[in-house]
Structure 1
Amino acid sequence: MLDDRDLDQRKAAILRAVVQQYIETAQPVGSTTVAARPDVAVSSATVRNEMTVLEREGYLAQPHTSAGRVPTEKGYRFFVDGLGGVDSPSPTSIRAVRDFFASAHGELESMLRETTRLLSSLTHSAAVVVGDAPEVADVRSVQLVDLSPRTVLAVVVLSNGVVLKRTFDPGPEFPDGLSSDDLADAQSLVVQGLVGRGVATLATWTAPPGARGAVVADAAADAVRLAVAEAGQQVFVDGAAHVAGSFETRETVEQVLTILEQHFVVVSLLKELIDGGLTVAIGSETGVETLADCALVVAPYSAGGSPAGAIAVLGPTRMDYAETVSTVSVVSRRLSRMLTEGRPGEG
């Protein structure tokens, strides 16, 4: 059996032509159509012979006896591996991404939700954006804000861009409310004790007993612990309508939509794939049986150099890989830059 490296130039060109034609038309591809493409400089008879070899070696399949060929999972993998470096997406996509991040603002939840919508609209596929759970992040800053005599707001910014907010009562020790010095002392303690450390530190941290501001600092830490517990994993999905129009059978559509609704499955899947950076998983490579007719393009994003989550596009195996891969790549880079420089939710 031929190894991918053993495909000669002609077979490789014919296989790429079949995949590209099928991506464009969703119809089985015949030898005459392939021979007419400018990147295939041989007769239709030669193409037909080579397609027979490619079918025998598992790169192509013939759905019906008299029909043309369609790519197999192995054929798509050869095509994707041959794309080489990530090119720029179309000018329209570049402009849309640039305009989106130029005007993006607000807190992280809104940013990720809108990024999901952007990805879906550009790729005409389902899009997923996952933000890491707060527990895996570090504390970047803590701010205590005196809202009223009996109410203090704790604001914590994490390394993954998440902003946690929660109000608390400073306690009966301050019947007339906090003074500015009381608040400053507490602020100093929580900054010294928490900033630069993992969120897991919150579970055991207490202010030094007897220190000025310790009572308020402990109340602030309790408030933030509650905010972390309530925050959970952030998962945003968009593009269900695109799924409905991307697959031939209703059963496949329903299976894909069910997977997208099961956020714990989506999160686990993306975590398994992003270790290698920008990744394309085709069919069985996703490890999920019901995604056999799907391809998944995944990329991590970061905030301040720390992992912050993943973005992904889920579509049919005949997706436009070159455009989708380049779009996911540029969006992940721009989102990382925005979270590092812009810090949604700060300021």
Structure 2
Amino acid sequence: MAGKQEKPEAYGIEAEDLSPRQADILRLVVDTYIEGGQPVSSLGLVDRYDVGLSSASIRHILSDLEKYGYLYGPHRSSGRVPTEKAYRFYVASLPGRLPPANFAEEKQRFIQKEYLRREFSIREILEVTSNILSALTNFAGVIIGPAPERAVLKHIELIDMGQDEVLVVIATRSGTVYTKTLFVEERIPRDYLLQISRFLNEKFKGHDLDEVHRHLLGLEIPGERELSGYYQMLSRILNAHFESVKGKEEFFISGLDRLIDQYGSVDLEKIRDLGKLYEAKDMFHGIFKQTVELDDVMVRIEGDQEPRLAGLSVLAGSYKMGEKTIGAMGIVGPNRMNYVDAIRTIEYLRILISGLMTRMSN
């Protein structure tokens, strides 16, 4: 690959070097294949685009690209198809930050209606968002919710439930309410539970639950010795509970079946078994969890890293509550997709859901 080289990098992908002419032809092949789903020939490119090259010259470039692993020919003399390496180069060549989708009024009304007809809670917003992502793209819509430890405490209440049980109720600024029955060694007087609740609210209101977890055991509650003993007992149990739920975010994935319905062709021949896709849900969870701290949309074309996901691309972007990044959302689809439309759809919805989450926190 002599001459000036092109090495694009965007959306978390760094591509290998190609000459400008090779890069241009490869992008045209991928564009054509994404649109039509048929192997692309040199003659087809000449007929379709004004590339200023003869069919023979393009055929030579296609042959080189096949040799370098960017293309393959499924059948002799029928044209070439992009490999996952080609899709990576293509995505890395896209503009670094695409604008949000500018949906037609009809689609905007559909999105608004989907949110408005549900109960206004974080869980409902997450579920609706995964459904909307799937409906807009015809791929699987995925969203991972805020980790419990990222939630900001609004109020905590400890309630006597009987001989050896205390109910802890944790309300967060986002509107989520967590409840947990704690089993204690001996019954704690209600007045003490009230004092401990008041103490915890004074110390931790407005702080995230991870901070509560980190500082709970180191505090001394003012007051008589018996109260302090009950506080130490409760704080140990609460601390163990916070540890047990750490990192257990809610996760929604909608529309996996759409992948088979819409793209049951050569693109998905390796993942036709829908059951295997459902088995891979934990893998998708892990991938999306990795993107929570990223600012931009990330694209992962998975086949080389995980053979079970060959033929699939994962696009994910984070969303916020105020200035704090709290979760990630996106799609799982075939390598053959309109990446520009998909990225712009994710950009639109992550801005929308960030606004919803921020309003809920206020």
Q: TM-score range by the shorter chain?
A: 0.7 to 0.9
Secondary structure of the equivalent of 1:75?
A: helix
Q: Does residue 286 of structure 2 align to residue 268 of structure 1?
A: yes
How far apart, CA to CA, are the structure 1 residues paired with 2:25 and 2:198? Answer: 67
Distance 1:305 1:88, change over 3 A: closer
Distance 1:274 1:338, change over 3 A: same
Aligned to 2:300: 281
Does structure 2 conserve the Cα–Cα contact (< 8 Å) formed by 1:87 and 1:322?
A: no
Deviations 1:123-144 (A, max 9, x none): 111122112431x325331155
Shift of 1:335: 1.4
TM-score by length of 1: 0.77
Aligned to 2:74: 63
Does structure 2 conserve the Cα–Cα contact (< 8 Å) formed by 1:299 and 1:312?
A: yes
Distance 1:162 1:217, change over 3 A: farther
Residue 118 of structure 1: which of 132, 139, 152 is its match?
132
Aligned to 1:241: 257
How far apart, CA to CA, are the structure 1 residues paired with 2:51 and 2:108? Answer: 30
Does structure 2 conserve the Cα–Cα contact (< 8 Å) formed by 1:194 and 1:202?
A: no
Aligned to 1:19: 30
Shift of 1:275: 4.6
Instruction: Single out whichever of 213-222 and 13-22 deviates more from structure 2.
Output: 213-222
In the alignment, residue 131 of structure 1 is paired with which amino acid? Answer: G
Distance 1:201 1:274, change over 3 A: closer
How far apart, CA to CA, are the structure 1 residues paired with 2:234 and 2:121? Answer: 21
Residue ranges of structure 2 left out of the alignment (5+ in a row) = 8-16
In the alignment, residue 204 of structure 2 is paired with which amino acid? Answer: L
TM-score by length of 2: 0.74
In the alignment, residue 243 of structure 1 is paired with which amino acid? Answer: L
How far apart, CA to CA, are the structure 2 residues paired with 1:264 and 1:72? Answer: 26
Q: Does residue 172 of structure 2 align to residue 157 of structure 1?
A: yes
Shift of 1:89: 2.4
Deviations 1:2-50 (A, max 9, x none): 6544645543332222111211222111223222324645443433233
Aligned to 2:48: 37
Does structure 1 conserve the Cα–Cα contact (< 8 Å) formed by 2:145 and 2:250?
A: yes
In the alignment, residue 106 of structure 1 is paired with which amino acid? Answer: F
RMSD, aligned CA:
4.0
Does structure 1 conserve the Cα–Cα contact (< 8 Å) formed by 2:138 and 2:255?
A: yes
Deviations 1:201-250 (A, max 9, x none): 48637771537x99999999778976995793311111122122324366
Aligned to 2:13: none
Residue ranges of structure 1 left out of the alignment (5+ in a row) = none
Instruction: Single out whichever of 115-124 and 102-111 deviates more from structure 2.
Output: 102-111
Aligned to 2:10: none
How far apart, CA to CA, are the structure 1 residues paired with 2:270 and 2:130? Answer: 25
Does structure 1 conserve the Cα–Cα contact (< 8 Å) formed by 2:139 and 2:258?
A: yes
Deviations 1:146-181 (A, max 9, x none): 9x9xx988342067x743245899x7745xxx8xxx
Instruction: Single out whichever of 94-103 and 324-333 deviates more from structure 2.
Output: 94-103
In the alignment, residue 190 of structure 1 is paired with which amino acid? Answer: L
